[in-house]
A and B are shown apart, each in its own frame.
Chain A
Amino acid sequence: MPEQLLFAIEVTLNGLMAGVLYALVALGFVLIYKASGIFNYAQGVMALFAAMTLVGIMQGQVPFSHLINAVFGTEVHHFGWHVPGVVAILLTVGVMVVLAWMVQQFVMRHLVNQEPIILFMATIGLAYFLEGLSDLMWGSEIKKLDVGLPQGLNAWIDETTFNLFGYGFFIDNLDIVATIIAALLVAALVAFSQYTKQGRAMRAVADDHQAALSVGISLNFIWVLVWSVAGFVALVAGIMWGTKSGVQFSLSLIALKALPVLMLGGFTSIPGAIVGGLIIGVGEKLFEFALGPALGGATENWFAYVLALLFLVFRPQGLFGEKIIERV
C-alpha cells in the first residue's frame, strides 16, 4: 500500500480514539439534558474539578492550603500520606455526589420551569464558580495524574503492522484503554437506565416531569442522581484526559469540543453522542491531515464547529435527535 494511504489510515484510527474521548465528555451532557432539559456547560469544568480532586486526594494535599496560608500565615501543604488510586477514585466519586447535591440544592431547585437558555447561562456561571473553586482548592499548577493506566506506544500493533505493511502504526495504549472503558461505561449506563428502578425513574423524569412527579417519583432525588452520574462520567473523562495531557485548566476546554459533538449527534441521544464523537474525531484529524498545511494549520480549533454548524442548517435536530416540534 502507498505510504500516504497508510498514513491516512493511521490518522483515521487516531481520530477514532480521540473521538471516543470526546464522546465520553458528551455523554455527561446527554445524561443531564435528557433528565432535566438542562444543557450543562459546566460538564468540562466538572471533569477538571474531578481530576484535580483525584490528584489532590492521591497526593494528600490540604484543600485550600494556599488560601489558608495566605490568611493565617501558616505553611501547610500536604497531610503527608499517599492514597492508593482506587481509594482516591472512590473518595472523588463521593465528592462528586456531594457536588451534585449542592448544585441541586442551591442552584437547580430554584430554576425549575425557567427557559432552557436561562438554565444554560446558569451553568456557565456554575462553570466559572467551579473553575475558581478547583483552582483555589488544589492550586492552579499543572499536575501529573497517574492511576496506573498503561501509556505510550503500543508495541504489538506497531510490530504487527510493520510486518504486514512495512509501516508501523502509532497507537497509544491509553487510547485503547480509554476506548474499552468508554464502551464499558456506556454498557453500564444503558443497563442502569434499563434494568434498575432508579434508572427507570430517571427515564420517566426525562420523558415528562409532571407525569413522573404525579406517580410519586421524587424529582429532587432523581436530579441529584443524574448530576452524580454526570459527575462520575466527568471523573472518568477527567482521568483519561488528565493521564493523557496532565491535569490543568485546558482540560475544561474539552467541554467546548464536546458541544459540536452533541450538535452533530443530537442532544437527546446516547448513540448520537458516540457517533458524533467519532465523526468529529476522525473528521478533524483527516481535515487537518488533508487541508491543514494548505490553510495554515490548527484547523482543529474550528473544524468541528463549522461542520456542526453546516450540518445543523440542513438537519436542526442533529443526527439522532428528536424532531423539534413547536406549538403556539
Chain B
Amino acid sequence: MRHMPQIAHVDVNCFYASAERAFNPSLEGRPVIVLSNNDGCAVTRSPEAKALGIPMGEPWFKLAPRAKQWGLVALSSNYELYGDISARVMELLGRYSAWLEVYSIDEAFLGVKGAPGELLALGRDMKTAVRRNVGVPVCVGIAGTKTLAKLANKWAKNNPAFDGVCHWDSVPAADREALMRRLSVIEIWGVATRLTKRLNALGIHSIHDLSRADPVMIRDRFSVVMMRTVLELQGTPCIPMEEERIGRDQLIFSRSFATPITTAAGMRQVMSVYGQQASARLAKHGLQAKVLTAFAGTSHFNPKDTAYPSVCVPLPMPTADPVLLTKAAHALLPRICEGIRYARAGIMVTDLRPTGNQAPLALFENPHEERHVGTLLEDVTRRYGRGSIGLGHAGIRGGPDWTMKRDMLSPRYTTHWDELPLVKAA
C-alpha cells in the first residue's frame, strides 16, 4: 500500500531552559527562566515558572525582588550553548528523514512516509534519540500539512496521554473536531492578534470555524497567506519552503539547490553568498549577531548517502560584517564530504542585538563594515579563481563583550574549553 507523504514537526520543549538543564541537573523541577538580551525580560519559562504565574516577556526587574522567595532561577541567554544544542538536534533529526527544513533554532519540519503505526514509531524514536543523545526533550506532531503538524505538536505537548508524539490522522475524527472547536484561531500557526480580531468580526472564532471557511473569500478579505492556512487546515499542503525568516532573536537563510553541490569548494561559494546575505539583512534591520549556525543536507529523492552536517560558531564579537559572517559560515566546510550530493544548505544567525548598543570605541569598530570588503572578495574570487585572494586576521579576535549585559550567564559548556561542565570525583 502506498502512503501519502506526511510532515513531522519537531520542537524542543522550553528550549533555552531545557538546554540549561541538560548540563545543570540541579535545575530539574525548579522554576527556571531565561532572560532576553541584556537581561531584559523572561523569554523562556520552565513549566514550574509558568505555574508561578510569570507571564512571557515579564521584565526581570519586576521579578527579581521575589526570585529568592520563589526559588526562581534566572539565567542570561547563553546563545553559544543554545546554538550548539540546536545544531546537534538538527543533525540528529536529519538522520530520520532526507527531507529536513530547519524552521527555527528549536524546531524543524521533516518529510516522512509510512503507515500510521510506522509514523508513530518514527516519532517516538526521534523523541527518544534527541533526549538520549543531546539531552533535551522534544515533542513531535505528524500530519498531512505543516499547519496541522504544528497543531498536532501543540496537542502532543499539552495532552500527557500522547506522551509527546501525536499523529493527527490516527486520532479519532470526533476528537480532532472537538479540539479544533475548543481552540481559538489565535492558536493556529501564522495568525496573530490583529488578524484574530478581523476573523472574529466575520464570525470565525475557533480553528474549526477557520477550517470551514471558504478559501477564496479568505483570500479576498485577507491574503493568500491566510488562504493557504485554511487549505492546510483542510488537509491540502500548500505552505512552501521559506527561504528567509526573521524571528524574535534569529534570522535564517536556507535554500534548495537546482543542481546538487558535491564539493567543499561549491559549498564554500554557497556559504559566502549566505554570509553576505545575512550581513545585508542584519544591517537592514539594524542588528548584529553573536552566534552563527551553518548546515547542509542531502535530498529526499536520494535516500542513500544522507548527510546533515551542521556547525555552531560563536562570533568573536557582535557583528553584521560580511567577512566575519562568511568566515564563520566556512566552518562547515571541513564537515562536507566530497562526492555526497548536498541538495540544500543554510545559515542561521542568533543572539541578535541592535547595532546602536555598541559603544563608539573606534578601537573595536570593525574595519570591514563600511567598505564592502565581502563583496570585493567575492568579485575578485569569481574573476581570478579561488585562492587568488584571502583573508588575514579579519576583525578583532576575542574582543571584550562589553555591549551585552549577561550577569547570570551559565558556562558555555560546549563551545569554550575553559567553561566545560565539571563532573565531581568525590
Specify whether A and B are partners: no
B residues touching A (Cβ–Cβ < 8 Å)?
Answer: none
A residues touching B (Cβ–Cβ < 8 Å)?
Answer: none
